[in-house]
Structures are given as structure tokens and as C-alpha cells.
Chains A and B, each alone.
Chain A
């Protein structure tokens, strides 16, 4: 197992380096002067000169990349163009919001997706099966930015059940500890804020979870169907175990292996979808920040945000692989 972890960590290094190469090259492959791109059109000649000096833009490309990596090692992602803040500070401030949203969405999709999948598999070819699988197919075909707007229209504007956007209502006080609002509210025992934060996260999280829920439901169904056909399930039934026990204790455990992989793969969907969801619901996370940066052509933010999200994604994938190896010991032996 240890050897496997070390091997996986070794593979992660070139991937992370590759990410930095792509992000680095993008700026330089773009037509125009990188310094001007970074500072905006209205930058003074002096400022441009300073940036060229600081980033070493007059050096050959490979030297520039070396300098870029060196700055990265120090956690220096540069400054934002418009607000002159450290990009890294801004990322740190915003990423709890994104993670909070992604985790709640992931929880919803695991829970709802697996339940739908299990019921569909145990009642194959029933009305429930058809409807939920059709729903799942519609779920993967859904433009989530549109679904989010439809939710807003129905549940917020027409019915008034849920808040329209943001993370907290104006006037609700919350002492920030971790920047995960729900967690902060629990830590400080601030129950009105807790309720408000939960109320705010429901709509964006459900929107973001649409595609993963559908994928998990489909995967769970087919994995369960595969397992339910096997002989040991017949044995379990024959020896008189209850229906629920057969399904949850015997079948689900083996069906879980492909499902866990699928769930792990959904992080990419969640992180990418966060840009759309956060933009619609004015959720102050990394995704919305990136969107604003794209609109304002703040390439420092785009660069920093991309690096951060991609690095996070690589690390999450590694964790998923390791978890997978724990669930399925055959993997680490290979």
C-alpha cells in the first residue's frame, strides 16, 4: 500500500508540472505583449517596464518558465490587475465557498443518485425504473445554467421559498472562523445564521448536483444489476436473509466499487460546473471570481485561478485513487 501511495505521488509531480507548463504557455501563446495583457491597455510605460523586469519577460522562454516556477514555489501568484491584491490571498479567501458548495452538491448527488440507482435496480423495468432513468438521462442533458435560472424563477421569485442568491442574507451576523459558513455557524453556535446559510446553499447545490446525481444514479443501477445477477446473491436469498439485508449488506458492497470511481470523477464536473453555478447565484467562490476575471480580462487572476483549480483537481483525483485502493485492495497490488 505504501509503495502504491509513493508511486501515485510520483506520477502526480509530472502532471502538476504539465499543468504549470500549459498555464504558462497560454499567456505567451496569446498574441500581443504579455506585460500589456497582464496590466491592461491603460498601463503606463513605467509600469510595463517594471512588470517585464519582475516577471523576466525579456529573458528567453525557458528562463521565464523557471522564474515562473520559482515564484510559484514561494506562493507568489502575482497581483490582480484592477484591485492590486495578492492573487493567492484572494484565492484563499474564496475557495472555502467553492468547496462548501461542491461538497454539499457531492453529498446530494451521492445520496440521491445512489438511492435512485438502488431502487431502480431492485425494481428493474418498473415504472419507477423508467421514470428515474429517463430523469437521469435528462439530467445529463441539462444545461445547468438554465436549470439554475428555472429554479430561481420557481422557488425564489414565484414561490418565495428560497433566497435568490448569495451565501447569507444581509443583516445576518456570522463570525468568520473557517470561511465555511455552515461550519462557522455550527462552531459559534449561531443557529439563525446556520439556518440562513443552509437556506442559501440549497438551490445552487441542487443545481450543481444535477449532472453528478444523474451519472451516479445510472452507474449505481447498472452496477447493482450486475451484482444482483450473481450466484452469491441467490445463495443469500436462499438461506432466508431479508430482502433489505441482501441488498444493502451483500449486493451494495460489491456494487460500490465502480460507483466510488464514478463519484470521484464527478469532482471535475463539480469544479467546472461551479463557474456556471456560482455566476448565476452570485456565490462568492473561486468560480465566480474567475468569471469576473474573464469578463474584465484580468489575466493574473485567470492564471492563478486556473492553476489553483487544476492543482486542487489533481490532488483530489489522487485522494480518490487512494481511497479506491483502500476499498478495492486488488488495485494496489497490480
Chain B
């Protein structure tokens, strides 16, 4: 008999995720995110122009529904004649990368620290949690801004800074779950048969803490996109000519009266992408972690 057919071998998370299909907000979120990922992958195919190609003749063209708009630049062009639609399409790549990398950093570090904290308790627990408190003592975004200010403005540093500021969220959640799981008999049993600590933690305990972690990951991706856009808006994230949504808004500030469309569309793109992750995160929370419901 194959083990897969045994219903008890299935991680309960699959059943919980099954409920997701009945959750409308989660489905809408999932659709938005899938669209966003598709656009990012297919950017070279979808975008009508090169996102960094400037054109002296096409500066500040309005979108197509405008009297003077043309189908050549559906969403118009910016002050250097670059196609807004193409830049937004390529911007999806940047934002998606930011979300994955910075949340990846936070997830890995946070989970590791949370495990050590919750499993070994005592000195390491106090030390790690005090360090997390220190990070949390800075208002949101401030620490990221300051870290990038010191390291020098670049997308890479922005992702790192956002990653660092998100570590405590993950560390706290994992620590809490690990503390709870450690009290259970299976952990005792694993210890009794002499399983090494890393095995108990990563193969025994961690899979049981997945629910809240998945929820936190999704919601963090939403805020990572938002924070990265804010950093780029302040000139601390992606540097020109990288097509990044926050940076696009920053440069359009001076044109706000002459060409408001340059500013409008990247903002809508950010809003949609973040909304997608937030919707999915809310849906996941309802499905996976009823305790966290707000």
C-alpha cells in the first residue's frame, strides 16, 4: 500500500487550503497575484516598447483616450519619452523580486531565530527576543530608511533593509508556535528516541507551525511591495533608469500639473498588487489560522 493513500499522512494544511476555494476574497487575491506574476514573467512579450528606451519625439504623450493620445503609447509616456505601460509591466518584475527576496530574508532569519528561541528557551531566548524588541522599537519604515541611508541607496540594500525590519514578525510567530508544540507528547517522544535537535525542530515541529507562517508571509509580501515603493519614491531604492513603480511616481512629481497620467498609473499598479496579496492573506488567515482573525 502506498503511503500517499493513507489520509493520515496528509498534512492537515491541505484540507485547510481546500477551504480557500470557498473564500471569495482569497480567490480574488489569488487571481490578481497570478495576473501580476504572469505579467512579470511575460514582460518582454507583453510590453510594446523597451522600458528604458528614451525618445525625444514622444515626450509626455497623454494616454490613448486623451484627445492627443495614440495607440503607440497606450498609457502615454514620461518626460524622457519612455512608454509608461512598458515601464509598469517591467516594474512588476522589480516589485515581485522585492517581495520574494525581502520576505525570503525575513522568513529564513525569522524562522531560524524563532526556532532557536522557542526550542532552547533560556539565555538564547531572552537574547534573541530582546534583539527583536530593539528592532521593533523603531517605527515602521524608519529603520529601513536609515539602514539604506547608511548602506547607500540601491534596490539590493532596500530589499535587505526591508528584510531585516520584517525579521521580528516571523521570529515572534515561530517562537510562539514552537513553544506551544514543545509541550506536546510527540516532541517528548522524539527526544526520548534520541532524535537530533535539528530533526525535531525542522521535521517534527516546524511543519505544525506552517499556518500562521504562510499567512504572515503573504501579508508581509504586501507590505514589502509598499515599503520598497516608498523607499524608491524617496530615492533610496531602485535607481534610475530601472522601471520601478515608486521611482516612477517620484519623478512624476514635478510634472503633476502638466502630465498627471505619468503619476497615476504606477500608483494604481502598486495599489492592485498590494491589494492582491492583502486579499489572499486575509483569506488564508480565515482558512488557516482562525485565532489570528482580526
Contact = CB atoms under 8 A, between A and B. Distances in A.
Interface of A: 14-16, 18-19, 21-23, 26-27, 29-30, 137-138, 140-143, 145-147, 149-150, 152-153, 157, 218-219, 222, 267-273, 275-276, 279-280, 290-291, 294-295, 297, 299, 302, 306, 309-310, 313-314
Helix, strand, loop or mixed for chain A's interface? helix
Which 4 pairs from chain A and chain B are nearest by CB?
Answer: A18-B134, A146-B267, A272-B141, A141-B274
Contact of A291 (B222, B226, B234, B263): B234
Contacts of A150: 263-264, 267
Contacts of B270: 143, 146
Interface in B128-174: 130-131, 133-135, 137-142, 145-147, 149-151
Given A18-B133, A149-B249, A153-B257, 16 more contacts: A18-B134, A19-B137, A19-B138, A21-B134, A143-B230, A145-B230, A146-B263, A150-B263, A150-B267, A157-B256, A269-B139, A275-B141, A275-B142, A299-B149, A310-B138, A313-B139
A145 B233 contact: yes
B278 to A, nearest CB: 5
Contacts of B249: 143, 145-146, 149
B142 A309 contact: yes
A313 B142 CA distance: 11
A26 B146 contact: yes
Given A143-B246, A157-B257, A275-B234, A19 B134 contact: yes
Contacts of A280: 253
A137 B142 contact: no
A141 B222 CA distance: 7
26 contacts: A18-B131, A23-B146, A138-B275, A141-B222, A141-B275, A142-B274, A143-B267, A143-B270, A146-B271, A147-B267, A149-B253, A150-B263, A150-B264, A152-B256, A153-B257, A222-B294, A269-B140, A271-B142, A275-B141, A279-B234, A297-B149, A302-B146, A306-B142, A309-B138, A310-B139, A314-B137
Interface string B109-139: 0000000000000000000001101110111
A282 B264 CA distance: 21
A138 B271 contact: yes
B31 to A, nearest CB: 15
